[in-house]
Chains A and B, each alone.
Chain A
Amino acid sequence: MRINCPHCGPRDSAEYTYYGDASRVRPSLTDTGVEHWHAYVHERNNVKGPMQEFWHHLHGCRQWLVVTRNTATHEIGAVRFAKSPVSDTAGA
């Protein structure tokens, strides 16, 4: 499997580490709701189909990426920097 890093270009998945669902929203630091943090840290949907995922280009530019991956086919779609606005994407 290869992921098209917006900084480095297409690279083998072995260069990356995986960090799961990128669609969940991290509570704000000042949010003291245990349920909010619990949901964010522990609860996951088991998605079949396209899913937004965090991948870290650990052995490359060390950027955290948001990768659209189809969990049924492993097809890699759009990839963007996690810190960038959604429009800033690299092609599949």
Chain B
Amino acid sequence: MSTQSFRHTSGGRIDRTQTLRFTFDGKAYTGVAGDTLASALLANGVKLVGRSFKYHRPRGIVSAGVEEPTGLVTLRSGGRREPNVPATMAELYEGLEARSQNAWPSLAFDMLAVNGLVKPLLAAGFYYKTFMGPFQKSWMWYEPVIRRAAGLGVAASERDPDRYEKINAFADVLVVGGGPAGLAAALAAGRTGARVTLAEQMPSLGGALLNEPAGGAPDNWISSVVAELRALPNVIILTRTTVFGAYDGGTFGLVERVADHKIEPDAGEPRQRYIVLRAGQAVIAAGAIERPIPFGNNDRPGVMLASAARAYLNRFAVLPGRKIVLFTNNDGAYATAFDLKAAGAAVTVIDARVDGGAIASQAAQQAIEVIVGHAVVETHGSPLVQGVALSPYDIATGQCDNGFRRLACDLVAVSGGYDPQVHLATQRGPKAVWDAKRACFVPGVAPDIQSQAGACKGSFATADCIREGFAAGAAAAQKAGATGKPGELRVPDALTANDGSATFVPAWDVIPPKGLREKKRFIDLQNDVSVSDVKLAHLEGYVSVEHLKRYTTLGMATEQGKLSNVIALAQMAKLRGIDIPQVGTTGFRSPYTSVSLAAIAGHETDMHLRPVRRTPFHRWNEQQACVFIDAGLWKRPWFYPRSGEDVNLAYRRETRQVRETVGMVDVSTLGKIDVQGPDAAEFLNRVYVNGWKSLEVGKARYGLMLRDDGYVLDDGTTSRLSEHHYFLTTTTAEAAKVMSHLEWLLQTAWPDLRVHVTSVTDQWGGVALAGPNAKKLLADAIKDIDFSNETFPYMGVRQGHMGDIPVRVHRLSFSGELAYEVFCPAGFAEAMAEFLRDFGKRHSLILYGVEALGALRIEKGHIAGGEIDGRHTLEDLRMEKMASKAKPYVGSVLRIRPEMTSDDRPRLVGLKPVDKAARIKPGMILQPHNGPYKGHGLGHVSSTTYSPALGHSIALGFVIGGASMEGRIIDAVYPLKGDIVMVEVVPPHMFDPEGDRLHG
């Protein structure tokens, strides 16, 4: 086990008493509580942590935060495996297991690093050229090779055993970021009594102040503010929580990493929590990220942001290097030099500016060598940095000149200034604006309820952050309606010093001097995009910010421009001879950092993905050994197997028996709508194509509805229960749509009609009893209804009682048999089913499911979901004769357009195989017999079944020519499998076409 040889014995914000064991690529190490994986690796002297995306170059830890471009690892294993986790954000826990990515066979010896030798092949625009150029066809061949070589980590294929949850939350004021500005904002808002939520992505509050040496004035300030916040009952503090998206109406997306810092969640604890937060006001205090400076081989492990080097020292007591070169263009980064020097490192400052000013003198006094007017041109060493070349430098042009010299070191700390984190602040627009004075993008005017404070709007000095945050928090609370006073917040003198940003001179590039071969200067380390790639994009005409990004893959994946965006824009601006904002401004979209799909799904997985609808007979059906099938959200009875039967044997038996004796099927899933009011008849007359005014009380009628555009919406049977009371049924599939349609018409088109519609689908259970014995059975079961043909004819409706159970009995038939639908209030359903089963024994009653229901209706040519699919007209369904000519109805005008009634449209037919043993499959395409097979052919098969009555497979389908094709032989084909079935076109009504059986 390695020792933590780069760990100091004092300082930092860690707990040295708690040693934590972890592994990286299978090798065991130790860290301490408070470490991240990155700090623990650095404490152990591990600098090489990954291989790059395209070229497989060795890469190390660059940052100490979310901007980490290269230190991406795969955490955990099995179903908990999580790829592309920044090691800088992974909190260490006992037993942590991490693996490097993108290396094969091993990190130290990566075979695929050969990509670096053939990199012209993989330069910018590689994918475009491959897809669009003469190599298009070869993509199929080399895609697998490229895919293996280029990429990030691999997602788990096993099931994630952890729970994720999703909650809704509300706040008057949301404060994003727990740095000085955010803490001050939360305090101001909290003191007014407003409901405040403060979200901080790191485990601790304090932001950039945590990079200061522990135990000083910043720590005192943080603890006093946090103590006051914690004492306020109206303030919620969420750490390890990223606000990743800003959405309309004050909605924000947050993800709380509840248990990512543990080996596994505690019992009942979710791993992550996705919070949809609706805020009255939001203060964005997202801070800033240090900007690198591109120089040759700036991607070697051992090149790090200056702020990160300071963070490793002051947060984690880790010395990231012993001989350090600090390359800066500003005063602020000198703090890193001072702290590292004090910690025992040898430090040389290369200051890109002509004059380092007072801070350089201060450094000299501390025995830190300062070389002004120079730049780091390149690093050398493999795989780790062993030294740099430095050269006199013109910061305005980026050009080095007058030779170079080498300097040995093991760490290059870089600071090119700071970039405000405008991401969240600009997601909803307007875009960020270029601040020429500070040479950075700042958020534009905040949209509606948002405001910005601190470094994310370009105010880098701590005292300014605190003052701005406090003012923004107070203002937000007031706008949100809070009436309390925020009081005062004094900024301690110790926090009013240093403002390194004022001295910042942008350094966009370091062009090597004569005599030094140009090395790759990476802009986006994660996606392997270098200065030369931007040049190539420019050369090939991809000069706008959008094209540049897509052509070079700049800022893709988790990088998202955090470190690369501004430098790339500056490069392009220089190539085009224009200013940075003229190149274009990147628009940022959520998420700010990666959000796991599991968190977004929350608990909506498996059975909880969608609601499950069960009919009131469900439990009873289960007791009858029913096998269910999903139909939309419903669990519908599919078939009721007897011993040894599979679905095919069962439904054929059920179908046969319905036609021989009597069967009962659960039809509770039909949409049921109660229509009441004096104008109900008029209303139905307008929504159905056929006439409704003449329907008597006690009678039912089949009806078809169209959409406004003339296509068939739905069909069903509606009965008149009393003068102003109708009971309308819809198909199972269209129930919700029809209900909305009727409400739409009543509330927007015809508000004058005195009609109410109420969905009663769940209030009524229903069964159909079909077969020659149906009437006798019901006559036994229901004593107060006369079932004789004379008093209760076909399409009659009666209300009565089965024992004590109130029932509505409709005499209608989907199966073509003598049949009834019996509805009862849902709570009586099980009792009614028991009743019917008992009475059914002497009539040879069987139960049947939707498979047999389908077989029965296809034999009869009755249309259902396969035919009413929203694409067919009345003519297509051969139902045009139903449409009334005497009245207007919804869709009556547009349905008669020539395209809708054309004979070229496929129309409903029945299909029988010529070879009676052949099976017609659902979805088959209908083509002329023996071809030619072209495109969509003559039509398609919409419903299929085996017909026990006919003894062979049958189908419904749509064929151009419709009835005129009857008697013709055509081919039903399934091109994917090469199946061809010769079929005869027949009338849709394939069994008992005269309908004798219906009347018993």
Contact = CB atoms under 8 A, between A and B. Distances in A.
Given A1-B247, A1-B249, A73-B447, A34 B747 contact: no
A7 interface: no
B933 to A, nearest CB: 34
Interface in B234-274: 247-251
A86 B481 CA distance: 29
Nearest to B251: A1
A74 B747 contact: no
A58 interface: yes
Given A17-B740, A83-B748, A34 B897 contact: yes
Q: Is the interface of B mostly helix, strand, loop or mixed?
A: mixed
A87 B748 CA distance: 16
Interface in A34-92: 34, 36-38, 40-42, 54, 56, 58, 62-64, 73-76, 81-83
Contact of B747 (A38, A63, A73): A63
Contact of B708 (A40, A56, A81): A40
B743 A56 contact: yes
Interface in A1-51: 1-2, 12-13, 17, 19, 26-27, 29-34, 36-38, 40-42
B131 interface: no
A81 B751 CA distance: 11
A58 B893 contact: no
B709 interface: yes
B893 A33 contact: yes
Contacts of B994: none
Contact of B888 (A12, A29, A38, A73): A29
A31 B744 contact: no
Interface string B680-692: 0000001000000
Contacts of A83: 746-748, 751
A2 B249 contact: yes
Contacts of B708: 37, 40-41
Contact of A82 (B249, B251, B747, B893): B747
A83 B748 CA distance: 6
A74 B249 CA distance: 8
A48 to B, nearest CB: 13
A11 to B, nearest CB: 11
Contact of A37 (B248, B743, B893): B893
Given A2-B278, A37-B894, A26 B748 contact: yes
Interface string B731-750: 00000000010011011111
Contact of B251 (A2, A34, A36, A42): A2
Contact of B744 (A36, A64, A75): A64
B248 A1 contact: yes
A65 to B, nearest CB: 9
B613 to A, nearest CB: 15
Given A17-B740, A58-B740, A64-B743, A32 B748 contact: no
A35 to B, nearest CB: 10
A19 B741 CA distance: 11
B540 interface: no
A31 B892 CA distance: 10
B493 interface: no
B249 A32 contact: no
Contacts of A40: 708
A82 to B, nearest CB: 5
Interface in B710-759: 740, 743-744, 746-751
Contact of A81 (B747, B749, B889, B893): B747
Contacts of A82: 747-748, 751
B158 interface: no
B448 interface: yes
B893 A62 contact: no
A9 B228 CA distance: 35
Contacts of A74: 248-249
A26 B247 contact: no
Nearest to A66: B748
Nearest to A85: B751
Contacts of A58: 740
B65 to A, nearest CB: 31
Nearest to A38: B894
Contacts of A41: 708-709, 894
A32 B888 contact: yes
Given A2-B251, A76-B249, A34 B744 contact: no
Contact of A34 (B249, B278, B749, B893): B893
Contacts of B897: 34
B762 to A, nearest CB: 15
Contacts of A1: 247-249, 251
B685 to A, nearest CB: 10
Nearest to B889: A29
B749 A26 contact: yes
Q: Which of B747, B749, B751 has the most CB of A within 10 A?
A: B747
Contacts of B248: 1, 13, 74
Interface in B887-912: 888-890, 893-894, 897
Contacts of A34: 893-894, 897
Contacts of A64: 743-744, 747-748
A1 B686 CA distance: 36
Contacts of A76: 249
A40 B893 CA distance: 12
B672 to A, nearest CB: 16
A54 B894 contact: no
A81 B743 CA distance: 12
Contacts of B890: 29
A27 B35 CA distance: 70
A73 B449 CA distance: 12
A81 B744 CA distance: 11
Contacts of A33: 893
A56 B251 contact: no
A30 B447 CA distance: 47
A37 B740 CA distance: 20
Nearest to B751: A83
A36 B888 CA distance: 15
Given A32-B888, A37-B894, A75-B448, A56 B744 contact: yes
B893 A56 contact: no
Contacts of A27: 893
B751 A19 contact: no
B474 to A, nearest CB: 25
A3 to B, nearest CB: 8
Contacts of A31: 893
Given A26-B749, A37-B708, A62 B894 contact: no
A54 to B, nearest CB: 7
Contacts of B447: 73
Nearest to A4: B249
Contacts of B746: 83
B847 to A, nearest CB: 35
Contacts of A54: 744, 748
Contacts of B889: 29
A63 to B, nearest CB: 7
A53 to B, nearest CB: 12
A62 B743 contact: yes
Contacts of B748: 26, 54, 64, 82-83
B598 to A, nearest CB: 20
A6 B422 CA distance: 37
Contacts of B751: 82-83
The residue among B686, B743, B748 with the most chain A CB atoms within 10 A of its own CB is B748
A30 B888 contact: yes
Given A26-B748, A40-B708, A54-B744, 5 more contacts: A2-B278, A41-B708, A56-B744, A64-B744, A74-B248
26 contacts: A1-B247, A1-B248, A1-B249, A1-B251, A2-B249, A2-B250, A2-B251, A12-B168, A12-B278, A13-B248, A26-B748, A26-B749, A29-B890, A30-B888, A32-B893, A37-B708, A37-B894, A38-B894, A40-B708, A54-B748, A58-B740, A62-B743, A64-B743, A64-B744, A82-B751, A83-B746
Closest 5 CB pairs of A and B: A1-B248, A74-B248, A83-B751, A64-B747, A1-B249
